[in-house]
């Protein structure tokens, strides 16, 4: 996605009250509730939300009992759909479930430690930010986090749970030059004027998040561009698990294998191997083996070892060839599904927290949950690389 010379790159984020993110959080809340009692559960929970309704379907195999409708309603309440005017209310929305067990044909390949499906997964890291993430997605997430913060803390008590952000950065190759554009859309009550809303969001959200030295007189700011965003959430748009995979990852930088994360237990390599790929890529960059690193892993269902592992540094590698970096990565990291699950401690009820504001680039105070963000393999990588 990066080019020689000056160019623009855009990433977006959405708040936890966005319909697709409601769906993701419900799916991961169900996973957490089951995993709290049964660490060896198999969960593939898909959620659909629309006006006054939440539907959960999928495949779940477990020996425990969870009152799934209560989990769904509690999640909706926590997100903030607590007022009837939102058209989607935690107490009164219809809740439906259509759940079966995991196919035994799949289980026979997964139980011995094989991958839960075929597929390809990617991880990415770069030196662009302290989080080893591209700047556009980091700023976009910080904007939506701040939107939720000012709503929940009553700083802007007229805001609703739904919202979006988008940030465009001007680059000269890999060097950040300035913020070209900021887009913010926030659901609000009818009582606030568009003028007051835009003023408040500029002062309380955008200026609190975007570094002042990256803003200039030519930066484009778009706040609630239509002038009205009263109807939001599932009342305005249907939501579905897994429909924000670029928001969940790197904001359009690098590649994506296509598999969503939320609602899937860690035997599904769509989730666990993507986490491990990020972990490896981040440690490669932190170890100084490259300034940018993208890692691809692929699997066949039922087999523990990856079919392929590829490293791509886009010309920033320090070992002569990316193949050499790939050899070092394979020496230091174990990409077998069971090894990933044990190493990253994924048999824990931690997944609801991942379902909003990105699975990657989380701050250090969250690394007990987001174990794949730890940079604990730097010394091993340096030693294996002979640095």
Domain ranges of the chain: 8-13+135-230, 119-127+266-380
Could you confirm whether 268 is annotated as catalytic?
Answer: yes
Could you confirm whether 351 is annotated as catalytic?
Answer: no
The answer to whether the 8-13+135-230 and 119-127+266-380 domains have the same CATH topology is yes
Could you confirm whether 238 is annotated as catalytic?
Answer: yes
Taking the model in full, what pTM does it have?
0.96
Write the CA distances from 14 to 119, 140, 297, 336, integer angstroms: 27, 8, 28, 33
Q: What is the DSSP letter of 345?
A: T
Q: Phi-psi bin for 314: left (phi > 0), alpha (psi -120 to 50), beta? A: left
> Which positions of the chain have pLDDT values less than 50?
none
Could you confirm whether 199 is annotated as catalytic?
Answer: no
CATH, domain 119-127+266-380, list 3.40.630.30, 3.30.300.10, 1.10.3720.10, 3.40.630.180: 3.30.300.10
* pLDDT for 274: 98
Of the listed 18, 73, 151, 336, which one is catalytic? Answer: 18
Write out the two tokens for 238: 């249907």
For residues 210 and 139, is the Cβ–Cβ distance under 8 A? Answer: yes
* pLDDT for 3: 65
Q: 36-75 burial by CB neighbour count: b if 16+ within 10 A, else e?
A: eebeebbbbbbbbbbeeebbbebebbbeeebebeebbbeb
Closest CA to 123 of 285, 357, 243, 297: 297
Could you confirm whether 244 is annotated as catalytic?
Answer: yes
Of the listed 12, 16, 21, 125, which one is catalytic? Answer: 21
Of the listed 107, 238, 339, 384, which one is catalytic? Answer: 238
- pLDDT, tens digit, for every residue of 179-200? 999 999 999 999 999 999 999 9
* pLDDT for 5: 80
Of the listed 24, 28, 46, 117, which one is catalytic? Answer: 46
Of the listed 243, 282, 359, 362, which one is catalytic? Answer: 243
* pLDDT for 117: 82
Please return the burial class of 221, using the count of CB atoms within 10 Å of its CB with bins 0-12, 13-18 and 19+: middle
What's the rounded Cα separation, in Å, for the pair 233 and 239?
Answer: 8
For residues 22 and 49, is the Cβ–Cβ distance under 8 A? Answer: yes
Of the listed 142, 244, 282, 362, which one is catalytic? Answer: 244
Sheet holding 94-100, edge to edge: 94-100, 53-61, 42-50, 239-240
* pLDDT for 109: 66
Could you confirm whether 21 is annotated as catalytic?
Answer: yes
CATH, domain 8-13+135-230, list 3.40.630.30, 3.30.300.10, 3.40.190.290, 2.60.40.10: 3.30.300.10
Of the listed 78, 237, 334, 380, which one is catalytic? Answer: 237
Could you confirm whether 85 is annotated as catalytic?
Answer: no
């Amino acid at each position: 996605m990066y080019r020689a010379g000056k160019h623009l790159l855009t990433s977006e984020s959405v708040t936890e009250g966005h319909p697709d993110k409601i769906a993701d959080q419900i799916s991961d809340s169900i996973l957490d509730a089951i995993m709290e009692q049964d660490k060896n559960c198999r969960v593939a929970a898909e959620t659909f939300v629309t006006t006054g309704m939440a539907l959960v379907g999928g495949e779940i195999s477990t020996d425990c009992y969870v009152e799934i409708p209560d989990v769904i309603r509690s999640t909706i309440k926590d997100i903030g759909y607590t007022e009837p005017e939102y058209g989607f209310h935690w107490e009164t929305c219809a809740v439906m479930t259509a759940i079966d067990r995991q196919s035994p044909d799949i289980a026979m390949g997964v139980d011995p430690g094989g991958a839960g499906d075929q597929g390809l997964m990617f991880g990415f890291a770069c030196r662009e930010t302290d989080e080893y993430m591209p700047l556009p997605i980091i700023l976009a997430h910080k904007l939506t986090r701040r939107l939720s913060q000012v709503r929940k803390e009553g700083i802007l008590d007229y805001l609703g749970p739904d919202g979006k952000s988008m940030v465009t950065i001007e680059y000269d190759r890999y060097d950040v030059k300035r913020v070209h554009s900021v887009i913010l859309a926030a659901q609000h009550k009818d009582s606030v004027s568009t003028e007051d809303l835009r003023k408040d969001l500029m002062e309380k959200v955008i200026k609190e998040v975007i570094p002042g030295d990256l803003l200039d007189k030519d930066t484009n700011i778009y706040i609630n561009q239509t002038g009205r965003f009263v109807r939001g959430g599932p009342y305005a748009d249907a939501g579905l698990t897994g429909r924000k995979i670029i928001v969940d990852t790197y904001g359009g930088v690098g590649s994506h294998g296509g598999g969503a994360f939320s609602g899937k237990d860690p035997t599904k390599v769509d989730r666990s191997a993507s986490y491990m790929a990020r972990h490896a890529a981040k440690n490669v960059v932190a170890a100084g083996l490259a300034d940018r690193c993208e890692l691809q892993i692929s699997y066949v269902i039922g087999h523990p070892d990856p079919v392929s592992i590829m490293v791509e540094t886009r010309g920033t590698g320090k070992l002569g060839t990316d193949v050499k970096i790939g050899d070092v990565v394979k020496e230091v990291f174990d990409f077998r599904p069971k090894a990933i699950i044990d190493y990253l401690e994924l048999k824990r009820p931690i997944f609801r927290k991942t379902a909003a504001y990105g699975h990657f680039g989380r701050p250090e105070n969250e690394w007990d949950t987001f174990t794949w963000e730890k940079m604990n393999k730097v010394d091993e990588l340096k030693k294996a690389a002979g640095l």
